[in-house]
Amino acid sequence: MSNPSITGEATEEYLATVVAGAEAVRKARRRTNRRSRVPLWATLVLLVSAVYFLLPLYATAVFGFSTGKHFTLQPLWDGLGDDGFHSSLQLSLFYSVVTTVLALAVVAPTAYLVELRFQRLRATIEFLTILPFVIPPIILAVGLSAMYGINSPVNLIASSWAPALLIGGYFVLTVPFVFRAVDNALRAVDVRTLSEASASLGAGPTRTFLRVIVPSISLGLVSGALLAFTTAMGEFTLAALLGYATFPVYLLNINGYEPRMGEALVLVSFLITWAGVIALAAVARRAPGTQIVRGGPM
Amino acid sequence: MSRLELINVSKRFGDQVAVSEFSLAVEDGELVSFLGPSGCGKTTTLRITAGFETPDGGAVIVDGVDVTDLPPNKRGMGMVFQGYALFPNMTAAENVEFGLAVRHRPVVERRARVAELLELFGLSHVGKSYPHQMSGGQQQRVALARAVAIQPGVLLLDEPLSAVDAKVREELRTEIRRMQVQLYITTILVTHDQSEALSISDRVVVMNRGAIEEVGTPTQIYAEPRSAFTAGFIGAMNEIPVRVVSGTQRLIERDGRRVSAPGAAGLLDGELGLLLVRPELLEPLGSTTEALNGDLLLTGRVEVQTFLGATTRLLLRELPAAAGDRSALPTTRLLAVDVASASASRWPAGSDLRVRIPVGASRVIADRAAAGAAQPSTSALTGSAASGA
Amino acid sequence: MRSSSSGSFAGASTAARRLGGRAALALLPFAVLITAFLLVPTLSLIWGSFHDSKTGAFTLTNYSYLQHPLDLVPFANSLELSLASTILGSVVGLLIAQAIVSSRRPLVQEIATTFSSVAANFAGVPLAFAFIATLGANGLLTRTLLNSGIDLYSGGFKLYSVLGLTIVYAYWEIPLMVLVMLPPLQAMKPSWREAAEILGASRWRYLRSVAIPILMTPFISSLLLLYANAFGAYATAYGLTTGFVALVPIQISNLINGDVSYDPGQADALAIGLAVIMAVCIGGRAILERRSTRWLAP
């Protein structure tokens, strides 16, 4: 080696020995590049957990798509054709859509006004939107039934206003997500300047809200709506305890009578949940920070 | 105060060569900088020295002991990371104390040493603060204090000043040098900032694409670069086309004028070469009758003046001389001449001037581009000349 | 862009003032719905808990369970279940989250995050039936193990038990843990570990002195979330056991729906107790959230 950069007394022989010996040891250990290697334990953990999470789905499919002897999709067709399935799904869709629309229509203007003008109320409003998290559906169900149930002062259930009870309950349950989604979207946009600009051009407050604000927070509205809709579609506790025959309630009952059909429909329900999450994830990609998970007990 | 040797270190990531055949000896108390563009392998070499990467070949030797197979926590080195890497859950004092605590030094001794170091680095008043409460400069000093607290034999600095404001950077690098000299710690500094490397190092290692391009003192690297890459990378450098008359006799010619050029040794007779001259060495000529004395002459028109502070850089476009024997020599198009800003008004944009090119101490390298294609280089100026960086 | 709170633009306050009284009206729907379906039921809950269900007289007997809470079987079971699923969910969830971060592959992370969101939303009746198909008396896994010579059920295992529920709850507790712990784990800088290492620390020393203190706050916060979720869950528990296993939410529903054990006053008191537990958990989380952001801010 005639590299002029090395100084010192080490002879070339010594250096060659040192280098060769160390290299041999290293080759024997066969260290791979640290950068591209996935740790073994990580792979194992992810594999095992994948099995745990996929197994119930697989078991459901095996049970639901068979006659006990061989594979068939007949239980699925039976289920999809069942009257109970149709009526309960329709009912769930009805409640989910109405709740979502109501939640958006009420919460969005409220969040807008709080941001624009009623800043002092922010703490109160935020508390009210955290409250449903603290009050899981079971408690809400007791409270609603205490106030509007059969043996109570305002008997909504027996009246023709009965749907209002579940809609009201679902509204309360979905307020936290809708508010948070809309509020985040509002804060990301300069609401004040937009409103001022719109007012200076002669637009009234309603027009400002509908034509200016709503389009700017559309992603927040969509994510809030998706979360509200999927929550309402999958909600069991309130519906069951207050006596409404929604899809989750039907699912529980049908699995008692017709297990195979029931399991097939369980998979359908899972696919609906999956579709909802995919849609939310697509929104989240365009607007980072979107909440995808309820995060509260059911 | 340890002697560090890197012997034939090499490393690849997949099929990308990160470091190849890197050999260097760093003496006790020396500060050596690794300087080069991003991707040149300087950080990888540093991390191999520290032990965070395992070399595919070669060895790291400290005071004669082969530490290549030792993990980082057994090498007795200190390191300051880009971004400081201060532990966010500990105060400045606790951060500095960490290495001593790991070594189970008695509490009294630890506290005393920490106080001493905080004092030395001017951090006594922030000892109880957390990293998120301190400024960048303060965090950097804490990182330094933490690294030297354990009295390491070798100190490794990975671009320690890149996250700091420009103004603070100059103060801090002087402080680093002062501390390094005072504590006599063998130090390696990785940086992409030339002025940083040139101002505080004992020696500079210029790296390019994983290999050592050149090693020398700052003066050597700057004034006598041995390779075209170094010449181009360090500061601004003019490349003036000349023809080599004789490599053995060290003669070059340009514009019909033949001069002696010791820097042309080793080049082939008749080939095209580039004369490398720093902008500050080019002299505008006063009167036409000044003797050239073995220097070359070039006439040009000032295209633009760039104010750089103390100096002003004149960018010249060469004007073709009277018909001379310059066939097959590519034209020098743009030339940079640095003059004192006070006198820059003598040569405003659009004016013509004649420039003396000192040949004596300048290197001549082969012009491979011109030999290959028949295209003249578009600019005689290489390096970060235009911006005066 | 955060809109300024000082309303410095004359135009903005004009626009807001023009809304003036009408703005307060616009907040009315929200106020009415929240009052009717959240606040009033809560008040009637509280009221009902202090009154005897049969006589209507003021009484404290509904709260007698507070003296010896663990004597109440549902409470003991709920406590056991929540603790078990919190421990299982947090340990496994943390492991999975770290495995995801250690894999350093963005694809792994995306898949894991999406699936975690789906799994966390899958809770309730469908999940219960998916697990019945897996670990029930005739479940896929049960039968497979039987064929290999392992008889789960003769060994005393029952899906309709606290143990079974723990395994089922893990299906959404683990993903929830992963989603909550992923951001803090990703914010851990590799250079901290390297700095510790070059200062002489062993891997354990680094964990003890740096990693664990930094991650402690988000970890405890997620423990509280998991615990609250497990304690307040009704749908999954009911779907799996149809009331077979005594839990606080199940007991509450029995007290308002059961024929034999109808006692709304007692149900209200239990519900308030449950709400207090939820409030403590959520409140604790809020306090911890504020602390943890300082150190992990990029």
Residues of C in contact with A113 (CB under 8 A): 19, 23, 26-27
The reply to whether B157 and B240 lie within a common domain is no
Distance of CA C176 to the CA centre of its chain: 8
Q: Could you say which DSSP state residue B52 is in? A: S
Same-domain status, B77 and B180:
yes
Q: Which domain holds residue B34?
A: 4-223
Exposure letters A90-124 (e unless 16+ CB within 10 A, then b): ebbeebbebbbebbbebbbbbbbbbbbbbeeeeee
Say whether B57 and A19 touch across the interface (CB within 8 A). yes
Q: Does A11 touch chain B (CB under 8 A)?
A: no
How many CA atoms, within 13 angstroms, populate the side-chain half-sphere of residue C71? Answer: 5
| Residues whose CB is less than 8 angstroms from the CB of residue B264 and which lie 6 or more positions away in sequence, other chains included | B244, B247, B250, B251, B252, B273, B364
pLDDT recorded at residue B362:
79
pLDDT higher than 70, residue C231: yes
pLDDT band at C153 (very low <50, low <70, confident <90, very high): confident
- Would residue A143 count as lying in a domain? yes
User: Is residue A69 assigned to a domain?
Assistant: no
> Are residues B211 and B356 both part of a single domain?
no
Where does the pLDDT of residue A27 fall: very low under 50, low under 70, confident under 90, or very high at 90 and above?
A: low
| Contact criterion met (CB < 8 Å) for A5 and B215 | yes
Q: Are residues B194 and B296 in the same domain?
A: no
**Contacts of C13 by beta carbon, 8 Å cutoff, 6+ apart:** C7
Amino acid residing at A282: A
Total number of domains constituting chain B:
2
The whole-model pTM stands at 0.80
Task: Answer yes or no: is pLDDT of B28 > 90.
Answer: yes
- Which of the residue ranges A47-51, A93-97, C138-142 would you say has the lowest mean pLDDT? C138-142
State which residue of chain C sits closest to B131, comparing Cα positions: C295
| C196 to B75: CB separation less than 8 angstroms, yes or no | no
Chosen from A124, A142, A152, A183 to mutate, greatest number of chain C CBs within 10 A: A142
Which amino acid appears at position C146 of this protein?
A: L
In a domain, B389, yes or no: no
- Mean local confidence (pLDDT), B163-182: 88
Average pLDDT over residues A176-198: 86
Residues C104, A106: C-beta atoms closer than 8 Å: no
More confident residue, B117 or C294: B117
What pLDDT, on the 0 to 100 scale, is given for residue C9?
43
Tell me the two tokens of residue B106: 């008695």
Residues of chain B with C-beta less than 8 angstroms from the C-beta of C297: 132
- Chain C residues near residue B52 by CB distance under 8 angstroms: 194, 197
Distance (Å, whole) CA B217 – CA B213 = 14
C73 contacts chain A (CB < 8 A): no
Residue B228 covered by a domain: no
Distance CA B36, CA B31 (A): 16
Residue C228 has pLDDT above 90, yes or no: yes
Residue B48 sits in the same domain as residue B195? yes
For the segment A80-97, the average pLDDT, to the nearest whole number, is 89
- B60 touching A (Cβ < 8 Å): no
* Chain C residues with CB-CB distance to B74 below 8 A: 200
In whole angstroms, give the CA distance from residue A239 to residue A298: 12
Number of domains in chain A: 1
Contact C125, C40 (CB under 8 A): no
CA distance B191 to B175: 16
Of the candidates B3, B25, B58, which has its C-beta nearest A6's C-beta?
B25
Question: Which chain B positions have a beta carbon within 8 Å of C192's beta carbon?
Answer: 85, 87-88
Option in A56, A137, A199 nearest C15 (CB)? A199
User: Which CATH number covers residue B26?
Assistant: 3.40.50.300
Q: Last residue of some domain: B163, B193, B223?
A: B223
Q: What is the CATH number that goes with domain C70-296?
A: 1.10.3720.10
Mean pLDDT to the nearest integer, A2-21 = 47
Determine whether the interchain pair C199/B73 forms a contact, defined as Cβ–Cβ distance below 8 Å. yes
Q: What is the CATH number of the domain that holds A200?
A: 1.10.3720.10
Ramachandran category for residue B274: left, alpha or beta (phi over 0 → left; psi -120 to 50 → alpha): beta
Asked if B254 and B344 sit in the same domain, the reply is yes
Q: Which of A3, A31, A35 sits opposite B13 (nearest CB)?
A: A35
In this complex, is the C-beta atom of A79 within 8 Å of any C-beta atom belonging to chain C? Answer: no
For residue A87, the Cα-to-chain-centroid distance in whole angstroms is 25
**Residues of chain B neighbouring C213 (CB-CB closer than 8 A):** 89
B282 and B362 in a common domain: yes
- pLDDT tens-digit profile of B125-144? 999 999 999 988 899 999 99
The structure tokens listed for A289 are 């920070």
CATH for B304: 2.40.50.100
Coil vs helix vs strand at C106? helix
Distance (Å) from the alpha carbon of C29 to chain A's nearest alpha carbon: 6
Q: Chain B: list its partners (3+ Cβ pairs within 8 Å).
A: A, C
Domain that includes residue A183, residue range: 75-286
Q: Is residue A30 part of a domain?
A: no
pLDDT digits (tens, 9 = 90+) for C134-150: 988 888 888 888 888 87
Q: Give the residue extent of every domain in chain C.
A: 14-49, 70-296
Q: Which residue reads 């914010």 in tokens?
A: C187
What is the ipTM for the molecules in this complex? Answer: 0.82
